[in-house]
Structures are given as structure tokens and as C-alpha cells.
Amino acid sequence: MPIRWNVPEHSAALHRLGTALTGAQAGAVVLGPDGCGKSTLARLAAEAHAERHPDTRVRWVIGTPAERQVPFGAFSHLVRVADIGKPAALLRAARDSLVEESGDLLLVVDDAHLLDTLSATLVYQLALTGSARMILTGRADYAPAAPAPITALWGDDLLSRIDVDAPEQRSEASGDVDTFVAGLPADARSVLDYLAVFEPLASVDLIGLTSAEAVRQAEELGAVETRTRGGREPDPVVYTAHPLFAERARGCMGDTGARARRTEAVRVLTARPCAHVGEQLRLAALAADSDAPQPAADVVDSAQQALRLGDLHLGERLARHALDRDGGLPARLALAHALAWQGRGRDADAVLAAADPATLSEPELLAWALPRAANQFFMLGEPERATAFLAATRDRVSGPSARITLDALGATFAMNAGNLGRAVQTATAVLADPAADDMAVAWAGSAAALCAARAGRFDEVGPLARRALDAEHPGVLRFTVGLAEITTLLMAQRLDEARELAWQFTDFAELAQPGRAIGEVLVAQVLIAAEEFDAAIELLAPAAATLERTGYSWGPLSLTLLATALARRSDIAGAAKALSRAESRHGTKSALFAPELGVARAWQRAGMRDQHGAIAAARDAARMAERTGQSAVALQAWSVATQLGDARAVDPLVKLCAEVDCTFGRTALQRARN
């Protein structure tokens, strides 16, 4: 017979839930252990709210271990997942598809701690924008390991947090679960076992794995629940009736039993085409842990889809599975990209080095050489080796498109090395060539945009940024474009717009590190310009720690900005430590930001009451920026010199203001003259 749960009434918690749904916040999250009545509370509160507000659309989402493995897994029945890159664009499209219907939306998310990161991010954005009222439930002991957007919901005061205690007879209930699962008839137990390894399953698929009678029996006994989720999946799906049932069933099956059931599930699910990319990724992840593997080419395609959706860990897992099976170049490239974007440069280089370039066709050679050169330059900190490797590869290819793409990466190298003249010359040639593909345009456009911003050619930034972003190239190039646009706004002293743009890179749209850390560096740059040093330090300290573990040039920049913010806050010891770390990690790959390092050194010396040394450091930074054609950056450095008491900074400011027309320069010159 069905298990009897000793669930407390929690009338006080139910009242708080109802109040939260009508208050200033977006709703509430109910946290507690399994068996404490969280789901019942959520259902009762949702029903009461819908009764009071008949126009409300109530939509349910249930987190499961299987759906946590794929982007938008739990939301697949509610949102359209376009086959495009850029997580931020995906989230906007998903949010729009969810709220496009009429009426207010009440979103109920059961077991929110089991959401994938994209789903969790969507929930956060719905709460942040006020697009939906919501009730979430989650296990309190899982809260620290829940996706960051979920824990941020109550940390950022978007949802009320309601903690619910466990029932007093918890150990007794645990024993009841063991007895219940062990006592299920064989047919009903087989239904539970399949759901324990892959939940939910469409009713038609579960019947195909067992039988209609078995599903009916399991439901009557209270082991499973059949739901019509609505939205874009009107057909019924089946869940376990309680997470503890699945947990106990998995424990009893062991690895061998679980793998056998996954294998059978794959064979049934592959009998029909996947309805959307989320379903494709769910199946690929399931098959990877079964004895019915998909063709390697299909697994590589799924790995690439996962990377485009911003799920680097799933992309790595699937690419590694494909590589272990056939060792082909597409699998090797997908795995290398997944590793490199996580900042694991040594691992990525080892994967790429195992390929034999002598056996590759020209298109394959290009596809292999580009990520290897980029990885050498940034992740491994070997710019000379990377530049030589790029030149040697260029000599081996004959197609004009291939050479243009290699030149575009060379422009990026030149920019980061501080050679703006060469970078702009090369990037301009690439962008003018009709043979340039999307990758070439993305590299050349982003490099040219940042060079233009730092040189003070602000009118060029917008068109170049649009060309780079329209190329839809994955990876970190969007941050390069963002830095160009933010620099332009700061030089126009449009701080509010710069702040708003910078935060777009950190609204949980960048789903995996180091992306979020880089976005926080952009925000911190604006905060320093606004003299909000405490807020900048709060972002930069963890961001710098994350980026130090990668090879991105953003790492030295983050430490440089941290040293500046700490010095401006008169934390002399902290500034000295951050500056020392920045200097030790600075090199050719981050030479573009050498003027910022000089400015940090100036503020650190000023904090030590060494005015002469501070002014000298600011002058050196300004002259370095001028020598490398970074006139806008030179303006900033000379402005710092005037703030430190340099009476001789007026003449260079006059000269630069004649070259660079911007509000920042005019304000700095006026301050220097007063």
C-alpha cells in the first residue's frame, strides 16, 4: 500500500508563503530535508494563489538528477531553446518564450537545487526582472552546492527564505521508505528503477520499457506520479513520487544494474527523433553511461551543442567520450575547446599535441592550428612560440580564407602584445577581405574595436563591435568587445551607461568560470572610475583568484585593478601584495595593459607617501601608452599624474586633448589648470 508520510501542517510557513507571493519580493523559497512537506506546501500555496487570482498561469518545473545534466533540462517543456550560441541571447529567448502568454505567471520549481545552471539562471532573471511570481523548494543540506543563481535568490533578497524543519519521526520514515521500495511488486519496481536512472520519462517511453499495467500499478501504489506538464510538451510524463524512492532504488541496483537500465532506456528513446536540442543532450548524456553508445559523430555534435549553450562541463564529458571511442579530430577539437575555455591550458595543449599535423587536410590543419596557437599564447604564456607556430602554419596553407583567418588571430596576438599599429593594420585588411569567415571577422573585429577605443578613435568602436558580435563566435571575444565599448563610455563620462553595460556580463548570463570573473573585471573598472573602491574590491578579489588559475590576459589586468582599488582605499599592504602578484604575472600576452600596471604602481606609491615616486610612475605609464598609440589610456594616466600633484602634466594633456575629443580629457585638462 502507499507509504504514509508524517508531514507536519506547517501552517505558519504556508501563511508566510502566501504573504510572500503578494509582497514586494518575487515570492519565496522553501528549504528543508526530504519528507518535511516542502512540495505539499508549494502545491497548497500555488492553489490558493491561483484561486485568489484566476488570471494567473501556474507552471510547474521539477528538478531531477538527469535533467540537471543538460542546459534547460527542467524547462524543456516550457521554453524554446534555439540552436544558437551566446548564453545571454539564449536566456533572453527562453525568458521571452516563457512570459509571452497573457496573464500573470506563477512559477513553481520543486527541487530547485537539482536545476541545471541555465535553468537556474532563467529563474534568477525572472525574479530579478519581476516577470514571474515564484515558489521554490529545495533541500537545505544541498543549498551550498546548488547552482549559484539559486542561492543568490535569497542572498540578493529577491525571494523570502522559509526554512522548514524535519518531521520528528525522520528515522522511522527512512525505514518506511526502505520497506516500501523493497516490498514493491516486480513490475512496479521495474518502473521505479528506470525512473531512478533517468527521470522524468514520457509515459509512452516508460510503457515501452515496462508495460501499461506496470506503470498503472506503480502509480496506484504511490511509487510514481504521472503528470501532464503542459507548455510545449502536452503528453504525460512520469516522475518518482518522492526523491527518496529513486535514491533507494539506485542504491539497490548498484552500478551494473543502473547501467543495464540506462542501456535499455537508450534503445527505446532512440526509436524516435529528438524534439529539441535539450532532448538531444539528455539522450547523449544517458547514452555515454550505457552499453548502447551513440555514433561518435553524433556525440561530437552534442558536445558542440553543449559548448554553444555554455555548458562547458557537459561539453567536456561528451567530447571526451567521443574521443575515447574513435580518436577523431572533431572530438579532439571539441574537447580542447571545452578545456581551454575553462582555463585548463595544459590539458588542452596535451589533447591537441596528440594529433599528427602531417595527416591533416588543409581545413583540418587550420581547425587544429588555430586553437593550439591561441592556447600557447594565452593559456601557456608562450607568445613567442605561438607566434612562430602561427607563421609556420601560414606557410603550410594555400587557401586565401585559411591565411586570412590565421592573420586575424595574429592581429589579436599583436594587440595583446601592445603592438596596436600592427594589430590595426592586420585587422583592417582582414575585415576588408570578402574571403574572411566568421571566426576571422570575430577576431579581427574585436581586436580592432579595442584598439580604436584605447587609441581614442571612439567613432569607430560601435561599427567594429557590431561586426565582431554579429559573427557569433563563441569564447571570450565578447568580453574584448565589451571592454572596448565600456572604455568608450567611460571616456565620454557616461558612467551610468557603462555600469549598465558592464553588469550585462555578470547577470548570471556567463554561466561558467572564467567567464563570470571576466565580467566582474569589467564591472570593477567602472566602479573604480566612479570611485566606488569597496565595491570594486569585493568583485575583484574573487575574480582575480579565479583568473590567476587561467592564462587569460584578464588575469594580470584583474590583479592590476585590484592593486589600484586597494591603494585608493589606503590598504597599503594589500595593494603591495596585489601589485607584486600583477607584476609577476604580467608579460607579452598582457603588454596591452602595461599602462594600467604603471597607474597601479603610482597609486601604491602615493599610499606610501612617496609623491615623487608616484608621479614618476604615473608619467611612465602615460608615456608608455603614448608610445604604443594608446592615446585615450595616456589621457587617463596623465589625469592620475595631475591628481598626484604633477604640475607638468598640463602640456601633455593639452596635446592629447587636441588628438582625442572626449569629455574625460576636457575635464582632466580643466582640473589640471585649476
- Which pLDDT does position 80 carry in this prediction? 67
Q: Which of 109-123, 508-522, 537-551 is least confident?
A: 508-522
Grid coordinates representing 218 are 506503480
- Which pLDDT does position 326 carry in this prediction? 84
Give which of 471, 384, 386, 392 is closest to 427, Cα–Cα.
471
- Cβ atoms within 10 Å of 183's Cβ, excluding its own: 12
pLDDT tens by residue, 5-34 = 554 557 888 889 999 998 889 999 999 887
Q: Which of 101-115, 193-207, 246-260, 655-669 is least confident?
A: 101-115
Residue 632 in contact with residue 488, Cβ under 8 Å?
A: no
Grid coordinates representing 326 are 574513435
- Which pLDDT does position 492 carry in this prediction? 97
Residue 352: pLDDT over 70: yes
Residue 471: pLDDT over 90: no
Give the contacts of 540 (CB within 8 A, at least 6 positions apart).
Answer: 520, 521, 524, 558, 561, 562, 565
Tell me how far the alpha carbon of residue 151 is from its chain's centroid.
16
- Which pLDDT does position 180 carry in this prediction? 92
- Which pLDDT does position 238 carry in this prediction? 93
Residue 116: pLDDT over 60: yes
Q: What is the mean pLDDT of the chain?
A: 89
DSSP string, 345-364: HHHHHHHHHTS-GGG--HHH
pLDDT tens by residue, 155-177 = 889 999 999 876 655 565 567 88
Of residues 286 and 1, which shows the higher confidence score? 286
Residue 336 in contact with residue 328, Cβ under 8 Å?
A: no
Q: What is the pLDDT confidence band of residue 368, given thresholds at 50, 70 and 90?
A: very high
Residue 477 in contact with residue 499, Cβ under 8 Å?
A: no
Burial class (CB in 10 A: 0-12, 13-18, 19+), 666: middle
Residue 3 in contact with residue 176, Cβ under 8 Å?
A: yes
Report the b/e string of 307-320 with b at 16+ CB within 10 A: bbbbbbebbbbbbb
- Alpha carbon distances (Å) from 304 to 315, 623, 633: 7, 45, 38
Q: Cis check for the bond before 200: say yes or no (omega within 30 of 0).
A: yes
Residue 478's identity, in one-letter code, is R
Give which of 334, 330, 329 is closest to 348, Cα–Cα.
334
pLDDT tens by residue, 34-80 = 778 888 899 999 999 999 999 888 988 999 888 888 888 888 777 76
Q: Coil, helix or strand for 404?
A: helix
- Which pLDDT does position 507 carry in this prediction? 60
- Which pLDDT does position 143 carry in this prediction? 64
- Which pLDDT does position 475 carry in this prediction? 60
β-bridge partners, 227: 237
- Which pLDDT does position 167 carry in this prediction? 61
Residue 119: pLDDT over 60: yes
- Cβ atoms within 10 Å of 228's Cβ, excluding its own: 12
Residue 360: pLDDT over 80: yes
- Which pLDDT does position 9 carry in this prediction? 58
Percentage above 90 pLDDT, the chain: 67
pLDDT tens by residue, 414-427 = 999 999 999 999 99
pLDDT tens by residue, 553-573 = 999 999 999 999 999 999 999
Give just the sign of the alpha carbon dihedral 468, 472, 475, 476. Answer: positive
Mean pLDDT for 590-601 is 97
- Which pLDDT does position 317 carry in this prediction? 96
Helix (H) or strand (E) holding 180: helix 170-182
Q: Coil, helix or strand for 228?
A: strand
Residue 82: pLDDT over 80: no
Strand 233-240 to 224-230 pairing: antiparallel
Helix (H) or strand (E) holding 585: helix 572-585
Give just the sign of the alpha carbon dihedral 84, 88, 90, 93. Answer: negative
β-bridge partners, 240: 224
Residue 457's identity, in one-letter code, is R
- Which pLDDT does position 68 carry in this prediction? 85
Domains defined along the chain, listed by start: 11-167 (3.40.50.300), 171-288 (1.10.10), 296-373 (1.25.40.10), 476-673 (1.25.40.10)
Which of 301-310, 392-401, 479-488 has the largest mean confidence?
Answer: 479-488
Residue 348: pLDDT over 90: yes
- Which pLDDT does position 468 carry in this prediction? 93
Residue that is written with C-alpha cell 585588411 in the block:
429
Residue 231: pLDDT over 60: no
CA angle 344, 350, 352 (to 5 degrees): 100
Burial class (CB in 10 A: 0-12, 13-18, 19+), 254: exposed
pLDDT tens by residue, 483-536 = 999 999 999 999 999 999 998 877 655 555 677 889 999 999 999 999 999 999
Report the b/e string of 281-292 with b at 16+ CB within 10 A: bbbbbbbbbbee
Range list of H helices, 210-276: 212-220, 243-269
What is the spatial distance between Cα 223 and Cα 239, in angstroms, rounded to a whole number? 9
- Which pLDDT does position 252 carry in this prediction? 92
pLDDT tens by residue, 126-164 = 998 888 999 999 988 776 678 888 988 998 899 999 998
